Amino acid sequence: MQRTTIAQILAAGAATLLVAASLGAARAQDKGTLNPQPLPALANPNDPKLPAKQLFGRKGQPAPLLARSIGFYSKGCLAGAKALPINGQTWQVMRLSRNRNWGHPNLVRFLERLADKGPKVGWHGLLVGDMSQARGGPMLTGHASHQVGLDADIWLTPMPARELTREEREQMSATNVVAADKKDVDPSVWTPAHLGIIKAAAREPEVERIFVNAAIKKALCREATGDRGWLHKVRPFWGHDYHFHIRLRCPGDEPDCRPQEPPPVGDGCGHDLDWWFTDAVLNPKPSAAPARPRPLTMADLPAACRQVLVAP
């Protein structure tokens, strides 16, 4: 099933593959600061070779335009973003210094609804990691996707029953639920509620895919009872051992949003996972890490992203 697996991964965008493989899993864990410093002004913001992440990474406020997702998850931008409020009854936003709690209004509403469903499956609140930048686009650190406001990372740490301080939100570590040998989940931290919240997300029609570590997928395959149709959307990926990644479909009325090919048929369990547990994948040699792709420039992004960037 190696061919299927690779084809499916490539469908996520080759850049995603390369970056994920070369960056490994640690990025979601990077700590933040209570005193974020503004980035220095660019000497030459119109240089056509300038990586687009240098431009979008400096936009702290959304483009005041009609909300729409433009382009592909790993090559696009976002107009009219909304912020997920940093506190709700059933969620809290983490790493506030990153200013990445922006999304398409569909994503913000979706997360609020999912958070409210959590307690019914034993998950008392979401700790929300990165969504998108204020205008989407490529990021200076951490992700190849999350560019169009339809991706969100949810920590695999249950939300404590109190409001976290600003400092905790920057410094606290998420829980790695994968065992040290990477072949299964760690039974000392993995709970039925982990399955419950991932399943609750996957069953939502507007969810396109969910990315988890292959060890988590293996556990879900083993533990899912009753309806197993949702497993189809839960796809193995590198990293994603401290968080799971929710990807929404393109909004129906937004032709500039480029949909992703649907995942391969089937639940993706059993031998479909074999490749992920080969030694070459579990323990890649440093020399096997592919070269970083050339960073995206404005010319690589849809033309409409220029308007998003320059909007007041």
In the complex, the smallest distance separating the C-beta of residue 19 from Zn ion, rounded to whole angstroms, is: 11
- Neighbouring CB atoms inside 10 A of 100's CB total 25
Compare residues 218 and 245 and give the one whose CB is closer to Zn ion: 245
In the complex, the smallest distance separating the C-beta of residue 245 from Zn ion, rounded to whole angstroms, is: 4
In the complex, the smallest distance separating the C-beta of residue 215 from Zn ion, rounded to whole angstroms, is: 17
DSSP annotation of 78: E
Residue facing Zn ion at closest CB distance: 245
- And the tokens for 212? 């988890």
Distance CA 303, CA 241 (A): 35
Distance of CA 249 to the CA centre of its chain: 13
Compare residues 211 and 276 and give the one whose CB is closer to Zn ion: 211
Compare residues 248 and 298 and give the one whose CB is closer to Zn ion: 248
Compare residues 153 and 170 and give the one whose CB is closer to Zn ion: 153
Residue ranges binding Zn ion (CB under 5 A):
153, 245
The strand ranges marked E within the chain are 68-72, 75-79, 82-83, 87-88, 91-93, 102-103, 126-128, 151-155, 207-212, 234-236, 243-248
In the complex, the smallest distance separating the C-beta of residue 151 from Zn ion, rounded to whole angstroms, is: 6
Compare residues 153 and 208 and give the one whose CB is closer to Zn ion: 153
In the complex, the smallest distance separating the C-beta of residue 243 from Zn ion, rounded to whole angstroms, is: 7
Distance CA 83, CA 73 (A): 18
- And the tokens for 213? 């570590």
